[in-house]
Structure 1
Amino acid sequence: MKQTPLLDLKAQYAGIKEDVEKAVLNVLESGRYILGPEVKALEEEVATFSDARYGIGVGNGTDALVLTLDAAGVGPGDEVITSPFTFFATAESVSRLGAKPVFVDIDPKTFNLDVSQIKDKINERTKAIIPVHIFGQPADMDEVMALAQEHSLFVLEDAAQAIGAEYKGRKVGSLGHAATFSFFPTKNLGGYGDGGMIVTDDPELDSKLRSLRVHGRSPKSKYYNSLIGYNSRLDEMQAAILRVKLKHLQSWNEARRKHARLYDELLKDTPVVTPFAAEDRKHIYHLYIIQAENKEGLMEHLKNNGVATNAYYPVPLHLQEVYRDLGYQEGDLPVAEAASKRTMALPLYPELSEEMIRHIANLVKVFYQ
């Protein structure tokens, strides 16, 4: 039986092998392995790609969140409003700084923050909002930015899953005060190891982040420190690999969108709910997420037929054990809780064949028949 993975990184590598190996060898021969010319070039290229002025490469997507919140002045006693339906790192970064994550329920169609519920959570301790562009679809940023302006709040786009997505014709990364990307291998733009980046238009934030990533170093010298910082730098090797991949990102994202449209068409007469894509934004389908009755049964059926799936996210953040002391109860954020019970991902990656998509869709139909 032929196996279909959720994501096939080997297939992607086969298509760019020669360019990647050349880029890696160039770094090895250069003798520059930390914060060298490849990192500088990638920072400029990702910033340009995102319609932002500055890019700051860091060790991973989680560090990108932590360093940016730190640079924005978030600390003990502060509150940061965000989504309960995302990867743990979003809220973890808030907690890591001694601040408190405040969860707002999600929109039942897009799974992004329900902006109508944000205002009621804002108080004198609120310092920032982190909208998550979940699964590759931008959040309702006009409403978020209007609230932020009204209450003088910092807005950090968690764009870990959404590099290349667009909101009303504007690129993700240019919508808030800053944005963070993850280059974890499974992302639409993924390295061969960890990596992350922050983009912003703010020169002061850019300067502070460049200091924070190298132990709070002063511009004077590596042995002068003006801040308590971190050791979080994007490797030169990863930057070189990501520069090769960035050239393909637009076409890879378009392939994902094409595959998603085919899935949508093939699954429209089944009981599953296919992803909602708002007309005024460009969804880049980091994951193809369906809502399914008897999700566990469908996942087992597909597994038995050689098709990998995964559940995103089985426990919403407000119900995680580590956040028990925040006092949330089951039923407090019902839309996020329902999504956690019903959502799962089908295989989706640029190299996936039309034949395979039709096969997977047929297996779904067979299960419900």
Structure 2
Amino acid sequence: MNNIPFFNYPDLFAQHREELTDVFQKVAECGAFIMQNDLVQFEQRLSEYTGIKYVLGVANATDAMQLLLKAGGVGVGDEVIFCTHTMVATASAIKFTGATPVPVDAGVDHLMDVVSVERAITPKTKAIMPTQLNGRVADMDSILTIADKYGLQVYEDSAQALGAKYKGRSAGSFGLGGCISFYPAKVLGCFGDGGAILTNDVGIYNTVKLMRDHGRGEDGNVSIWGYNSRLDNLQAAILNYFFDDYEKIIGRRREIATLYYNGINGIDGVILPPTVNSDIDHFDIFQNYEVEVPNRDELKEYLSNKGVGTLIQWGGKAVHEFKDLGFTQSMPFTENIMRISLLLPLNMSITDDEVDYVCQCIRGFYND
């Protein structure tokens, strides 16, 4: 029986064992662990790559979102609109500024539904925070138009979208800023938690730079209340190493997405993500390959018995469905997405033959 895990962490290390061991050794020999040159270099490279002026490495993408919101003045009494088809971290970042997270529905692309956004605006609404999910950027023209109409701020949960573009602009470049996650399963992942804030706003940059390190400036003076949220230098060094081949990594993921599309397109009831060249406005990096399928849970079990690892994103619940958090809203379209969606294995270890095997299994399930 084939064994195709959803993500193969041991194999990722095995592929780069010698080079990564050198990275560990160099950082350890220098004793360069916190706020050192590897971090500075990585921030500069991300800035150049995305075309966004300012980048700051922080402990994780959730912190990045919260720091962005707080630096932008979001707080008690404010409401922030977010798409509930996201990880709970999006909402918790809003909540811990003191603001109220207001969920809205997703659209057919699994991203923020613009019509739902306008319906959710109240006098308390301060900002809109779309999630750039699965490596695809939302319809930012429409979101920015609504924000301008009502005088609202825009932030991006672009944790899954480093390198993704909308009309030539990088995820994270819209509005006041965005975030990136370097969680190990991300397209660019480290060996633990890690994140970054991206912004073209110098005020946001200067404030977050202080906030991530206890409010301390370079002279040691503490001028604001801050946090302890720094991307450690060892993780930055690992990210620098993987970043050398980032364009190739994205290219390979787009190849795999195309193989999946060609292999399972046309199955009755199966809805696939947009193709690599589905429209000129989007450049997708395929952080995930999320499909809508009939009999999702049965298919997942069938694939598991065939040795194929899959994942139901966030355990099969949208954020507003965690009723213990106080949400009372109903989001029919998103709720349906959560019942029928499945993530197929898409990582740098999977081979073309293994993708073909996954496709054969899926076709076998629906043809039996």
TM-score bracket for the superposition, by shorter chain length: over 0.9
Match of 1:337 in 2: 335
Match of 2:319 in 1: 317
Within-5 A mapping of 1:192-207: 192-207=191-206
TM-score by length of 2: 0.95
Q: Percent identity at matched positions?
A: 34
Within-5 A mapping of 1:19-168: 19-108=19-108, 110-168=109-167
Within-5 A mapping of 1:136-285: 136-221=135-220, 224-271=221-268, 272-277=270-275, 278-279=278-279, 280-285=281-286
**Aligned-pair CA distance for 1:219:** 4.5
Distance in 1 between the 2:295 and 2:263 partners? 19
Provide the secondary structure at the position in 2 that maps to 1:225: coil
- Indicate if the aligned counterparts of 2:54 and 2:198 stay in contact, CA closer than 8 A: yes
Match of 1:352 in 2: 350
Distance in 1 between the 2:101 and 2:9 partners? 34
Distance in 2 between the 1:340 and 1:64 partners? 26
- Indicate if the aligned counterparts of 1:189 and 1:246 stay in contact, CA closer than 8 A: yes
Match of 1:291 in 2: 292
**Aligned-pair CA distance for 1:260:** 0.7
**Alignment root-mean-square deviation, CA:** 1.4
TM-score by length of 1: 0.95
**Aligned-pair CA distance for 1:29:** 1.3
**Aligned-pair CA distance for 1:50:** 1.2
- Indicate if the aligned counterparts of 1:253 and 1:350 stay in contact, CA closer than 8 A: no
Distance in 2 between the 1:229 and 1:338 partners? 41
**Aligned-pair CA distance for 1:121:** 1.6
Unpaired runs of at least 5, structure 1: none
- Indicate if the aligned counterparts of 2:321 and 2:327 stay in contact, CA closer than 8 A: no
- Indicate if the aligned counterparts of 2:57 and 2:197 stay in contact, CA closer than 8 A: yes
**Aligned-pair CA distance for 1:72:** 0.8
Number of residue pairs aligned between Structure 1 and Structure 2 = 362
Unpaired runs of at least 5, structure 2: none
Match of 1:14 in 2: 14
- Indicate if the aligned counterparts of 1:51 and 1:173 stay in contact, CA closer than 8 A: no
**Aligned-pair CA distance for 1:13:** 2.6
What amino acid does structure 2 have at the position aligned with 1:225? Answer: V
Distance in 1 between the 2:337 and 2:48 partners? 35
Distance in 1 between the 2:120 and 2:178 partners? 22
Provide the secondary structure at the position in 2 that maps to 1:276: coil
